Structure 1
Amino acid sequence: MELRHLGRTGLRVSRLGLGTLTWGRDTEEHDAADQLKAFWEAGGTLVDTADVYADGGAEYLLGRLMEGLVPRRDLQIATKAGSVPDPDRRFDCSRGHLLAALDGSLARLGTDYVDLWQVHAFDPVTPIEETLQALDIAVSSGRARYVGVSNFSGWQLAKAATWQLASSGTHTRLASTQMEYSLLQRGIEREVLPAALDLGLGILPSSPLGRGVLTGKYRHTTPADSRGASEQLAAFVAPYLDEEASRIVEAVSTAADGLATTPLHVALAWVRDRPGVTAPIVGARNAQQLRAALSVEALSLPEEICQALDDVSAPVHRYPDQDWSTL
């Protein structure tokens, strides 16, 4: 698999990442092992997890698999911290919580360091400088090699980067931002993507297949074994089952027919090759699904297909994004 630099850093990762959101909860150990082995054999290196996935179960399972299945040195492990199971405070990005969470992640993963440590979301209560100081400590102590953020809006991302540039002392620059991005969700193109490009951050798209909808599996019905039919994830899929999404899915399916490939490949290739994107994070139910996604490696969409998909899925950006002189 082709490798790409993560933003303006020296870290090179596979241009597809493996997501572990369901590991330790819906995905059992033998299925996770099959996925990790298939990913590794295809040349994949970037594995993304978080301390809250299955309440730490995903990290623990990944750590077990690195003990006897795939060498730690062959992978780049990315994890996240900052989310908390508290209905009154969903995020805690204080220095104390973040560093304690990192130590917990390292213990579950069975490793001395993670390659990429990410703040899971913006915490409106904690000063941003305190959060960023925790990232500095993680890198200077050797517990993290690179740092990034996840689910930051454009102004939040710019604020964090500006503090790093403007404040005294040496600070570890952000390497990446992880955001949902697909043909069904192009909201980051309004502010986050331009900010990331300007700052030199690599983008790691989550849900690049529109929560599975872009594969076409929901075109006529909801399969009984799909996320859309599961008690835990039905609400996660539901927003992308409306009429507008259906129109985009049909366009993807038409493009796939014309290219003699699958809607999955078309949708994944589109987001993989967008400006600023380093590696979409792909989550799969089993190794068979993952192998289908990994086989997109040889596909590059023709320019006219990309333009047609851009047009049919274009988000509406008006003022202040639109040229004010035309209003």
Structure 2
Amino acid sequence: MSDTDIGFVTFGDSGLHSSELQFGTWRFGRETAEGNLEIGEERAYELLDAYADAGGRYIDTADVYGGGDSERWIGNWLGERDRERYTVASKLYWQIRDGDPNSRGTNRKNIRHRVEASLERLDTDYLDVLYLHRWDEETPTRETMKTLNALVEEGKIHYLGASTYRPNGWRVAKANAIARAEGWEPFTVLQPRYNLVDREIEGEYLEMARNEGLAVCPWSPLGQGFLTGKYDREEGLTGESRASESTSFEESYLTEENFDAHDVLDAVAEEVDASPAQVALAWQLHRDGITAPIVGARTVEQLEENVAAVDIDLTEEQVERLTEAKGGPFAEL
């Protein structure tokens, strides 16, 4: 690994500290539509080693990643290290048993079963952070928050998070109001999608997070690879790229507006002698209200490139140019 050292940032209004870049493991054990394994066990350990060698201490996973392999591999890896030096976050929500509606969502039965299963796979006594992967429209908020609070009191969870809740930020505020009124543990962190061209959380969502004192740790900070510069404005998706990406990706990302924003990204990258991916991450690290983006990588080389973003110092003028490249009405936030 390079000489880059990932630092720490405060985790919202809590007493916890997070690595300024978190490591996402959603590709661990994941099979593509063509049946190819994105990241196998050996490479997973190499990536975790590289992240730790750079000073990274925050590992993000979910119980469904790789059918549970992501958690198992992280647990194996942690077994050779000091567990207390690492913050481990996992998630639950998606249905895991066909024909069993109770194996989905945030009902008490499902939460308790899924947390116990995650702890077993991770070979740990506790989760530092448990995220609800989606909002459950069928389970009363009070039931969910009471169940989560009990797990916190039992020492099985330390902090609670909500992932991909936009445009449901008001639901998080409601859940926290219920929790505080009852003396229960509220949500501490949010995990929305956010990057230079996906700006939907700006405005009321980020204002809610500030008001609630919540950490904000975005996923997809590189726009599913769009902000790395590997897609061409004229050719779009071709060959192998077209086979690996969906039509929705093409419609969402390969637009003139987004390529215009990418032109600004490329210009700033040239000014600071860095890659577009590094500048896209550095921009988030300079954004008020953003705690720590979650980075993923298929190779150690990609991870090293991403981690080097912590050393990039953008000027106020460069941050403003990037923000206004596709800022919309909330670019000033």
State whether residues 286 and 319 of structure 2, in contact with CA within 8 Å, keep that contact through their aligned partners in structure 1: no
State yes or no: 1:57 paired with 2:69.
yes
Q: Which moved more, 1:267-276 or 1:38-47?
A: 267-276
Per-residue deviation at 1:131? 1.0
Aligned match of 2:170: 155
Are 1:82 and 2:93 counterparts? yes
Is 1:91–1:121's contact at 8 Å kept on the other side of the alignment? no
1:66 aligns with 2:81: no
User: Does 1:28 pair with 2:33?
Assistant: no
Q: Which residue of 2 aligns with 1:6?
A: 11
Task: Give, as a single letter, the amino acid of the residue that structure 1 aligns with 2:43.
Answer: D
Helix, strand or coil: the match of 1:206?
Answer: coil
Look up the match of 2:34. Answer: none
3-state SS in 1 of match to 2:223: coil
Matches within 5 A, 1:96-135: 96-135=109-148
Q: CA deviation at 1:137?
A: 1.2
In structure 2, stretches of 5+ residues that fail to align are 1-5, 31-37
Q: Which amino acid aligns with 1:143?
A: K
Cα distance in 1, alignment partners of residues 145 and 296 from structure 2? 29
- For 1:11 and 1:257, the matched residues in 2 are separated by 36
From 188, 196, 202, the counterpart of 1:175: 188
Distance in 1 between the 2:192 and 2:87 partners?
A: 19
Name the counterpart of 2:56.
44
After alignment, is 154-163 or 233-242 more displaced?
233-242
Matches within 5 A, 1:281-320: 281-316=294-329
Q: Is the 8 A contact 2:198 2:223 kept in 1?
A: yes
Consecutive unaligned residues of structure 1, counting only runs of 5 or more, are 318-327
Q: What SS is found at the alignment partner of 2:218?
A: strand
Q: Deviations over 1:135-166 (max 9, x none)?
A: 1011111111111111122211221122123x
Asked if 1:194 corresponds to 2:194, the answer is no
Give the Cα separation in 1 of the matches to 2:45 and 2:240.
Answer: 20
Write the letter of the residue equivalent to 2:115. Answer: L
Identity among equivalent pairs (%): 35
1:64 alignment partner AA = N
Larger mean CA deviation between 76-85 and 179-188 belongs to 76-85
Would the aligned equivalents of 1:118 and 1:150 in 2 still touch at CA under 8 Å?
A: yes
* CA deviations over 1:286-308 (Å, ceiling 9, x no partner): 11100110011211211001111
Matched residues, number: 311
Q: 1:236-251 alignment to 2 at 5 Å?
A: 237-238=249-250, 239-251=252-264
CA distance in 1, matches of 2:254, 2:70: 28
Q: Normalising by the residue count of structure 2, what TM-score does the alignment of the two structures yield? A: 0.88
Equivalent residue letter for 2:12: G
| 1:146 alignment partner, SS class | strand
Distance 1:31 1:151 in 2: 27
* Alpha-carbon offset, residue 272 of structure 1: 2.1
User: Distance in 2 between the 1:316 and 1:236 partners?
Assistant: 25
Q: How far did residue 127 of structure 1 move?
A: 0.6
- 8 Å contact from structure 1 (residues 197, 276) kept in 2: yes
- Opposite residue 23 of structure 1, the aligned amino acid is F
- Does the 8 Å CA contact 2:104/2:110 hold for their aligned counterparts? no
The answer to whether the 8 Å contact 1:91/1:122 transfers is no
**For each residue in 1:224-260, what CA deviation from the matched residue of structure 2 results, as whole angstroms up to 9, or x when unmatched?**
666x642xx5356332122211111111011101121
Pick closer, same or farther for the CA change 1:237–1:91 going to 2, 3 Å. Answer: farther
Distance 1:24 1:251 in 2: 35
Give the Cα separation in 2 of the matches to 1:66 and 1:38: 14
Contact 1:52 1:84 in 2 (8 A): no
CA-based RMSD of the aligned residues comes to 2.0
Q: Find the aligned partners of 2:9 and 2:135 in 1 and give their Cα distance.
A: 27
Q: Which residue of 2 aligns with 1:164?
A: 179
CA deviations on 1:41-79 (whole Å, 9 max, x unpaired) are: 1110110000111221211111122223x4322210000
